[in-house]
Amino acid sequence: MSALQNDRYLRALLKQPVDATPVWMMRQAGRYLPEYRALRAEAGSFMNLCQNPELASEVTLQPLRRFDLDAAILFSDILTIPDAMGLGLRFETGEGPKFDRPITCKADVEKIGVPDPEGELQYVMNAVRQIRKDLQGQVPLIGFSGSPWTLATYMVEGGSSKAFTKIKGMMYSEPATLHLLLDLLANSVTQYLNAQIKAGAQSVMIFDTWGGVLTPRDYREFSLQYMHKIVDGLIRENEGRRVPVTLFTKNGGMWLEAIADTGCDAVGLDWTIEMADAKARIGDRVALQGNMDPSMLYASAERIEQEVAHILAGFGQGSGHVFNLGHGIHLDVPPENAKVFVDAVHRLSQPYHTR
C-alpha cells in the first residue's frame, strides 16, 4: 500500500495536531456531480455501479479531482447487508429502496443469517481494494455501514418511512423479535466493517440515520446498545496505525454524552446543535465531525464562508474537528458552491492550528 500523503483527517479524528481542519462531505460522490450522472447512466443502475469495483472506484475518486478533500469515502449503499440477506432489494425511481420480502415476525428473522463479507458482500471488499489501489495514498479511505437500528427500519418497513409505524409496532409489541434482529445485524455490521478494514479502509463510520426518531430510553436500548457492541468488536489498528471509528446519529444531539461513552473516536453532528455546545459537552473526550446545514450550499459564496467561520469559531483552537455537512450534500447543489465550502474550511481554519 502507498504511504499516505495527507493524513490530516486521521490525525484530527485522534485529536493529534494538524495544520488545518480537514474536510469531506457525506455523499460527496453522487448525483450533484454531472460526471457521476453520466457514469450512472452508462452503468444502467445504481447497484451496477456499487457492484463493479472499477466503477465504484471511479465514482469515489470523482469528487477528489474537483475539490481539495481530505478523505475519500467508499461508494456503496447502507442497504448492502439486508440485500445480502436475501430480502429482495430494488430501487424504485423517485421512491427510493424497496424490499420484496420485509421482516414481519420472528420466523422471518430466523430465516436470515450473517452474510459473509468475502462471499455475498465480496463486491464491496473488492471495491475497497480497488479504491485503495487507485488512491495511491493521496488521502485516507473511509469505510462505512448503516447502524443496526437504521438497517432494521428499512427491513421491517419494507423501504423508506416517515412514521416508522411497523418497526415501532414491533418494538413495543414484540421487543424480543426486534432484539433478535438487531443482534444479528450488529454481528453482521461488525464482520462487514472489519472486512472493510482488512481490505484497506483506514477509518470507519456508522450511520444511524433514523436513531433520532426514538425516545431517549428506546434510543439507548434499540440503537445505541448495538452500536456500542459493534465498536467493542472492531479492529482498531491496521497497517501500523489506529483505525478511528465515527458514530453519527441524525437528530441525536441530546444523547452526545452517551454516544461518546461507547468508546468511539469521533461523534458526528447534524446541524441542529451548535458546534460550541457540542464541544463544551464532549469535545474533550472525542473528536467532532460536522456540522453545516447542507442547504447552506445554496447560498452565496460570502454566506457559505460566514457559516464556515462561525462553526470553526464554535470549535475553537486545536485539533479534534473534522469539518463536514450535518448530513449528505443535496443532489441539486452547484458543484462550484461545494468548492467554495471546502476551500473556505482550509483557509479559515489555519489560525486555529498552531504549528
Q: Which residues contact 253 (CB under 8 A, 6 or more apart)?
A: 269, 270, 272, 273, 278
What is d(CA 327, CA 253) in angstroms, rounded to the nearest whole number? 13
What is d(CA 247, CA 13) in angstroms, rounded to the nearest whole number? 12
For the stretch 260-300, pLDDT in tens is 999 999 999 999 999 999 999 999 999 999 999 999 999 99
Q: Which residues contact 160 (CB under 8 A, 6 or more apart)?
A: 95, 96, 97, 154
pLDDT average, residue stretch 83-107: 92
pLDDT average, residue stretch 25-45: 96
CB 84 within 8 A of CB 71: no
Closest CA to 150 of 201, 206, 234: 206
Cell 481494494 belongs to residue: 129
Q: Is the pLDDT of residue 100 over 70?
A: yes
| Helical ranges in the chain per DSSP H | 8-13, 34-43, 46-51, 53-66, 80-84, 106-111, 122-135, 148-157, 165-173, 175-199, 216-218, 225-233, 256-260, 275-282, 301-315, 335-349
Strand, coil or helix: 265: coil
| Cβ neighbourhood burial of 123 (10 Å; 0-12, 13-18, 19+) | middle
Q: Is the pLDDT of residue 1 over 70?
A: no
Active-site residue, 27 included: yes
What is the sign of the dihedral through the CA atoms of 110, 112, 117 and 118? Answer: positive
- What global pTM score does this model have? 0.97
pLDDT average, residue stretch 30-54: 95
What is d(CA 297, CA 32) in angstroms, rounded to the nearest whole number? 12
pLDDT average, residue stretch 312-323: 98
Active-site residue, 303 included: no
Q: What is the predicted pLDDT for the residue at 95?
A: 77
Catalytic residue among 11, 27, 265, 270: 27
Q: Is the pLDDT of residue 93 over 80?
A: no
Active-site residue, 11 included: no
For the stretch 104-141, pLDDT in tens is 999 999 999 999 999 999 999 999 999 999 999 999 99
- Ordered domains of the chain (ranges, CATH): 8-352 (3.20.20.210)
Active-site residue, 31 included: yes
Strand, coil or helix: 202: coil
For the stretch 172-216, pLDDT in tens is 999 999 999 999 999 999 999 999 999 999 999 999 999 999 999
What is the sign of the dihedral through the CA atoms of 305, 309, 311 and 312? Answer: positive
| Cβ neighbourhood burial of 129 (10 Å; 0-12, 13-18, 19+) | middle
CB 212 within 8 A of CB 252: yes
Q: Is the pLDDT of residue 37 over 90?
A: yes
Which residues sit in the known binding site?
27-31, 77, 154, 209, 327
Q: Is the pLDDT of residue 327 over 90?
A: yes
CB 255 within 8 A of CB 249: yes
Which residues sit in the known binding site for substrate?
27-31, 77, 154, 209, 327
Q: Which residues contact 41 (CB under 8 A, 6 or more apart)?
A: none
What is d(CA 3, CA 241) in angstroms, rounded to the nearest whole number? 12
Q: What is the predicted pLDDT for the residue at 96?
A: 85
Angle at 116 between CA 225 and CA 71, to 5 degrees: 70
CB 224 within 8 A of CB 258: yes
pLDDT average, residue stretch 57-85: 97
Closest CA to 167 of 182, 181, 152: 152
Q: Is the pLDDT of residue 82 over 80?
A: yes
Catalytic residue among 7, 70, 77, 83: 77
For the stretch 205-225, pLDDT in tens is 999 999 999 999 999 999 999
Q: Is the pLDDT of residue 355 over 70?
A: no
Active-site residue, 77 included: yes
What is d(CA 2, CA 12) in angstroms, rounded to the nearest whole number? 21
Q: What is the predicted pLDDT for the residue at 354?
A: 80
Q: Is the pLDDT of residue 305 over 80?
A: yes
Q: What is the predicted pLDDT for the residue at 92?
A: 75
**In which region does residue 332 sit, left (phi positive, over 0), alpha (psi from -120 to 50) or beta (all else)?**
alpha
What is d(CA 268, CA 278) in angstroms, rounded to the nearest whole number? 10
pLDDT average, residue stretch 62-91: 96
Catalytic residue among 19, 31, 108, 183: 31
